[in-house]
Structure 1
Amino acid sequence: MLTKVLLILLGLSIILPSRSEGPHVESENGPSAHDDVYGPRPQAAEEKLLSEETKPTLSGPHSTLGKLPAATHILNSILNNYDHKLRPGIGEKPTVVTVELSVNTLGPISILDMEYTIDITFCQTWYDERLRYNGSFESFVLNGNMVSQLWIPDTFFRNSKRTQEHVITMPNQMVRIHKDGKVLYTIRMTIDAGCLLHMLKFPMDSHSCPLSFSSFSYPESEMIYKWEDFKLEINEKNSWKLFQFDFTGVTNITETVSTPTGDFMVMTLFFNVSRRFGFIAFQNYVPSSVTTMLSWVSFWIKKDSAPARTSLGITSVLTMTTLGTFSRKNFPRVSYITALDFYIAICFVFCFCALMEFAVFNFLTYNRTKPRASPKLRHPDIHARALMPPRASAHQHPDAFVCQIEDSDESDGEEGPSCPAQQSLSPGGIQNPGGCCKWCKKYVCVVPRCEGSIWQQGRLFIHIYRLDNYSRVVFPVTFFFFNVLYWLVCLNL
């Protein structure tokens, strides 16, 4: 009986150790499967890369975490005695910050507010000896939550009006720490920056919109900015919102600005754009030119059609006024006159002169001083003929002046329409246009049929009754030469 009990105990002692060794073997082989999450690397290679100080001494299930404890140990060791309030190299040398910039989206450009919107990825690189470490990791990539634990340059954009940092789904900023102490800080932001637009040549204008940045508190003796071989990435494949402008290039300058708090190094980028002319041409130049030419139609309308000519002239003037107001609707209130304002103003003058031409023509031909007949000759349905003897004067023509006056029942006692005065000019005589200024007598003839004389030779002689004929030629020719001179000056400046 005792022999059987001993045999059973001996068998149990042999079986139990074999079962306990099975799970222990699986745990030894387990890390190779779990290490695939961080990258398939042989266990032997990992042990060679780890330094003696950072090599984990964990055993059992904790050994399946791979390099995570080593990375945590390195990060904790470099941040343990790190003071993020002090810049690197304080009291010894200035900190050199290398800048690199990538433009994601440019525009739109607001003419009324004189500002533009730009979406950039801003990269800054500097060396911080306090962040050096020894280990197998070439660099650490930290998210935006770790930025507050490191020293970051206090760069700000000097001409920004509004700045937005993107935080969806996490803050769009990143820090990369290299083992030699090199730090790369990247952040994405959208900036509404001011851009002083000089609109004198509008709409043939070109602009350079600046983006200026510098340190807020560190003067040039403590912080220096420099470009990474002026490395600027322009992603024009993105949906840029320039609309009325074309992007023509980018330039940069570096200057030192003196302030009461010190001399600061300022870096400025200029985004050069030029305006597209097509939109303004169809919205302003074409309607203005067509309205001006439309006002000339009154020169072909009979002078007796006063309502038609007057309404056409007034409509043209009001249309030009509306176009001038519309061109300034979405425009900054600048105190100077732009090229478009000058063109619309000249078109307005042409339309106004076309209206005044008919007013002058009507005044000189129908509102002249007319000879009046004696009241005794006025009688309904009777045609009277008055004979007016000439005055004895050496300066007037001795011939008779005859005018026929017709009265009708519809006139109600008022003088009816009179016939135009007829007067012939003799050599040495001077015409007498009634109701006209004396200086006009030498150059203007208001008689329907007058013949030139010796005194008119070599002088400008204008026949009032042919004023429409003159206007049909003078207005188009003058407007044509104005356009030629205008576009030559505007396009060559």
Structure 2
Amino acid sequence: MKGTIPFVFLIQCLIIFHYCGEISGESTTIVPAENVTILLDSLLEGYDKRLRPNYGGQSIDIDVSMLIYSFGPITESKMEYTMDMYFRQEWLDPRLTFNQDVVLYLTSEMSSRLWVPDTYFINEKAAKYHEITSKNSLLRISRDGKLLYSTRLTMTASCSMDLKLFPFDKQNCKLTLESYAYNTIGVHYYWLKNGAVWIDPEISLPQFEVQGYSIDVNTATYYVGNYSQLIINFYLGRQISYYVIQTYIPSSIIVVVSWVSFWIPRKATPARVALGVTTVLTMTTIMGNAGSSLPKLSYMKAIDIFLGVCHIYVFAALVEFALISFYDSPSFEQARQLVKEARSTKEDEGEMHQRGQSNGTNGDVRITVADGEDVIEGEVTVHDSDENILQQCICSSITKCKQKLTETGFEPDSTEHKARVLFPLTFVIFQAVYWIYFLFIAHSSPDVAGILS
């Protein structure tokens, strides 16, 4: 009895192994090499690779799947992207059926003697097979004549990018394939039902993130006929951290630095001019570097709006000092003094007007302005109906003060204090509106069919 227990256990193990081999669909039978050679010779006897399967009859169905293990780089200047993948095609060739319970695993040498689909990628710009140490291709033939042809490719394809929202943009890069010679009468392409596309979730790109994909089937109409197409859309989202660090933060700091001139005394002209010119030139340099990696576009991008506004702020700070210095000259100081006297006279006018109503008399106001070496005097009569003493002064005979009085109203001190508040306040409002709009409102997420895990 003791000797029979190991024997029974061995028989059970053999039965289990045979049953598992049937479930997996793989034959566990080892066929001698001589038999495989005879089988291949018999399959190739009378086989014409120039003719597709079912030539002259029903079109053949080709199931396609992709395993993408590398993605990038993505080059905006050339509007292209690169990826590495295992490209797989499956179809049925009745001429290759055989009776032996075996699956033939062959290399690319055998594929050159059989008919294979002439699949090509429409938007491909460059592609290559991997041939180290030999051409990376696999050909598998099942007993029912079903073939699996897999090859390793590195491909660079064109991608029409819309960069209006750069660097907040999300791109949809398309890849389209079809047969070059066979129209829908001869070939139909389909995505493999189980696992048409698989993208390695460990893929990492410097500026982009592969957010998902979607697949589609299409029939294209050309002059020579209708052709079956397969389309895959890759959805890429740009990571803006690089541009925040390299562009947005430095440009914002330059704008803030330009406001320092508002607290520098107006008499320190070299310091304020040097600060204003430096900030303007620095912003010009940042604007030039921000678009160096992009193509020459005819439309404005989101980053151009931000940098343009920052450039306006630093330039406005420089112009503000120029205006302050111009209106701070002695002649304008005299004009402002005249306005103050006119306003004080207007207050006296009210009292004179009240006395005039009781006494029935009018009041005369004499204004004296020193302009350089000349002393100009003018007399303005205040009538009962006068509403503004300044208007009478402008219409008087004091011709040299006329132009200056019309240009007054720009107080250097008050303007400087207003600039200290208005510049930061408006810039903060612009920043809030800009980031809210481009982060949450400007674009919507694409309809992604396949989400990376």
TM-score, normalised via structure 2 length: 0.76
Asked if 1 retains the 8 angstrom alpha-carbon contact of 2:93 and 2:146, the reply is: yes
Equivalent in the alignment of 1:313:
276
For residue 399 of structure 1, report the CA deviation from its aligned partner.
2.2
CA distance in 1, matches of 2:78, 2:59: 39
- Aligned match for 2:149, one of 164, 185, 205: 185
With over 3 angstroms needed to count, the CA separation of the structure-2 counterparts of 1:200 and 1:216, relative to structure 1, is: same
Q: Does 1:152 find its partner at 2:116? A: yes
- Hey, what does 2:196 align to over in structure 1? 231
Paired residue type of 1:271: F
Change in 2 beyond 3 A, CA 1:397/1:178: farther
The alignment of Structure 1 onto Structure 2 pairs a total of residues equal to 373
2:420 aligned with 1:472, yes or no?
yes
Task: Output the CA distance in 2 between the equivalents of 1:300 and 1:178.
Answer: 84
Question: What residue identity is the alignment partner of 2:321?
Answer: F
Unaligned residue ranges in structure 1 (runs of 5+): 1-40, 46-64, 372-393, 406-417, 419-425, 446-461
Aligned partners of 1:176 and 1:349: how far apart in 2?
66
2:429 is matched with which residue? 481
C-alpha contact (below 8 Å) 2:85/2:154 kept by paired residues: yes
| 1-structure distance, mates of 2:389, 2:264 | 35
Aligned with residue 428 of structure 1, among 381, 384, 388: 388
Structure 1 position 464, deviation (Å): 3.8
Tell me, yes or no, if structure 1 residue 161 matches structure 2 residue 125: yes
What SS is found at the alignment partner of 1:255? strand
Structure 2: how far apart are the matches of 1:101 and 1:232? 5
Offset of residue 196 of structure 1: 1.3
The CA deviation string for residues 359-390 of structure 1, in whole angstroms up to 9 with x for no partner, is 1111112174799xxxxxxxxxxxxxxxxxxx
> Whole-Å Cα distance in 2 between the matches of residues 436 and 402 of structure 1?
10
Q: Could you say which residue in structure 1 is the equivalent of 2:237? A: 274
Q: Counterpart of 1:323 in structure 2: which amino acid?
A: I
Structure 2: how far apart are the matches of 1:235 and 1:274? Answer: 16
Say if 1:162 and 1:191, in contact at 8 Å, map to a contact too: yes
Which of 441, 444, 456 lines up with 2:406 in the alignment? 441
Tell me, yes or no, if structure 1 residue 216 matches structure 2 residue 180: yes
Q: Deviations over 1:198-243 (max 9, x none)?
A: 1100111111111111111111121000111252222223xx3511
What's 2:366 paired with? Answer: 398
Is the 8 Å Cα contact of residues 397 and 429 (structure 1) preserved in structure 2? no
Change (3 A) 1:95 1:439: farther
Aligned-pair Cα RMSD in Å:
3.0
SS at match of 2:281: helix
Shift of 1:437: 9.4
Residue 203 of structure 1 contacts residue 277 of structure 1 at CA under 8 Å; is this kept in 2?
yes
**Local SS of the residue matching 2:185:** coil
Distance across 2 between alignment mates of 1:475 and 1:100: 58
Render the CA deviation track for 1:87-125: whole Å, top value 9, x for unaligned. Answer: 001111011001111011111111211111110101111
> How far did residue 465 of structure 1 move?
3.5
Write the distance in 2 (CA, Å) between the matches of 1:158 and 1:346. 42
Question: What is the identity, as a one-letter code, of the residue corresponding to 2:237?
Answer: S
1:99 aligns with 2:64: yes
Residue type of the partner of 2:192? Answer: E
2:99 equivalent to 1:131: no
